[in-house]
Structure 1
């Protein structure tokens, strides 16, 4: 579930969340019981916790992930344990999150090198499942290791499916490395395709950088960039990956 404010729900968001929760949407119930909710937190927490615990006992990885979220501000140890269980049960989001936790130093590893191996295993597993953020993270890990072929293979795959985040990142990468034509190409794809889509959209920022790198290009280079962008967009849909199955996680789906 996407939040418009990190710290507290807006009145509109709260109203929408409650309506969804009342219709049996589990993510909405979790959101309604979070610290961000304007009211009714304890009611929804009491209602959703046993539902998630029952599902977790059935090896439901998403239920485990939501229990991790639900307990995050109460008991970090319990929350972390649920995250580990969710990752081990195959939830790719949790696998990616757990890898990030390990990268930040969380968890205990006595054997030298074990932490790094576990991070790689989690990222590769989540990447192999087709989870785009994990694919990007795993690609960057390969790049840092010097496996440029492996890195490029994943980036090419993400470009083929139209991953907006990797397109934006490539625009930034080539701008930083003074390849303004390639930077303009990727930025232009993002600008033309994304509009003002979604909370995560950095459309105005990307548009600003596109305008900046375009100043360095010749009219002919800009023309070629526009042509290549049009060709790409004819056969690709640029988007952020949505975890649709999460939004279909309802009381009815358990029947």
Structure 2
């Protein structure tokens, strides 16, 4: 069994995905910095094309994938350029790019019948992803099993991946059980399994699972110590929802989880969310909350709040992020 340690998974989640092994271009320090900034901006729903393009055009498969996704979302459909970058990434072995290509149609040239030599159709990309992931799954690779599930919908592969400790599989297994998938002789077993897998994913560093598990514990048992622990852990990852939850608790606007009133911390944490001034629709709520909190504070407290924000950033340097889901099943274009 592969051990997915918390430091490893949290580092991986900082890039919002896990990639199977495939070749990376050797980037210069400037290209690597542009790539990292581009991925950060992508995860914050901000324009990231310029930064990602630097590394993508240098041949980096990961940057190519993100640029393809960025262009696809920007235009609300699969453009020729987005497809080109996704194909470049998939050709280097990126299974997530293969799945995206396999789920996004075969392109205009296939419709017109004038595709260039070597052009792969939607079905061919899915077959390629199926072949590679099946080989990995046969070797007991947790990510390979997860990819096999994404390609085929085989629920047993998702369960096996979760049992082997892959946090994305654990999170999605909990969600699938919540949505009614799977069969349980005893009705309460479903809720037990939902909680079990959200907890497992949380312990493996999955930010969304941390919040989900905290809410379950609050609603089912009211164990506030456990709830507060996971809300704080989610905030430490930089996850927007976790930071917002923790700030709201400190501001008592209202407090559900018995955090002590601390306007200094509430102000500092809320101010960190101002960086999300692109997409996502959170900026106006952040600005509103900051006005409400500061109205209860003295100038000296506000300055302490600003200092707390800097201290928090130093202690938890991962950028504030929405952590968008990789290959979200609701993302159909």
With normalisation by structure 2, the TM-score equals 0.59
Cα distance per residue 1:145-165 (max 9 Å; x no partner)? 200011122233344454443
2:283 equivalent to 1:204: yes
Distance (Å, rounded) in 2 between the aligned partners of 1:238 and 1:37: 37
2:157 equivalent to 1:82: yes
Structure 1 stretch displaced more, 93-102 or 78-87: 78-87
Aligned residues: 234
RMSD, matched Cα:
3.3
2:230 equivalent to 1:154: yes
Correspondence for 1:129: 204
Distance (Å, rounded) in 2 between the aligned partners of 1:128 and 1:31: 29
Distance (Å, rounded) in 1 between the aligned partners of 2:176 and 2:245: 22
Distance (Å, rounded) in 1 between the aligned partners of 2:87 and 2:304: 50
Question: Where does the alignment leave 5 or more consecutive residues of structure 2 unmatched?
Answer: 1-16, 18-65, 109-120, 256-260, 327-333
Q: CA deviation at 1:242?
A: 7.3
Distance (Å, rounded) in 1 between the aligned partners of 2:272 and 2:130: 43
2:295 equivalent to 1:216: yes
Correspondence for 2:50: none
Q: CA deviation at 1:65?
A: 1.6
Structure 1 stretch displaced more, 177-186 or 147-156: 177-186
Distance (Å, rounded) in 1 between the aligned partners of 2:135 and 2:187: 38
2:130 equivalent to 1:49: yes
User: Cα 1:210–1:35, aligned 2, differ >3 Å: closer, same or farther?
Assistant: same
Alignment of 1:139-178 (within 5 A): 139-144=214-219, 145-172=221-248, 174=251, 176-177=253-254
Retained in 1: the 8 A contact 2:207–2:237?
Answer: no
Distance (Å, rounded) in 2 between the aligned partners of 1:185 and 1:42: 50
Alignment of 1:1-255 (within 5 A): 3-4=69-70, 5=73, 8-35=77-104, 38=107, 40-71=121-152, 78-144=153-219, 145-172=221-248, 174=251, 176-177=253-254, 181=263, 183-192=266-275, 196=278, 204-214=283-293, 216-220=295-299, 221-239=301-319, 240=321
Retained in 2: the 8 A contact 1:65–1:83?
Answer: yes
Report which structure shows greater RCO (CA 8 Å, sep ≥6).
2
Question: Where does the alignment leave 5 or more consecutive residues of structure 1 unmatched?
Answer: 72-77, 247-255
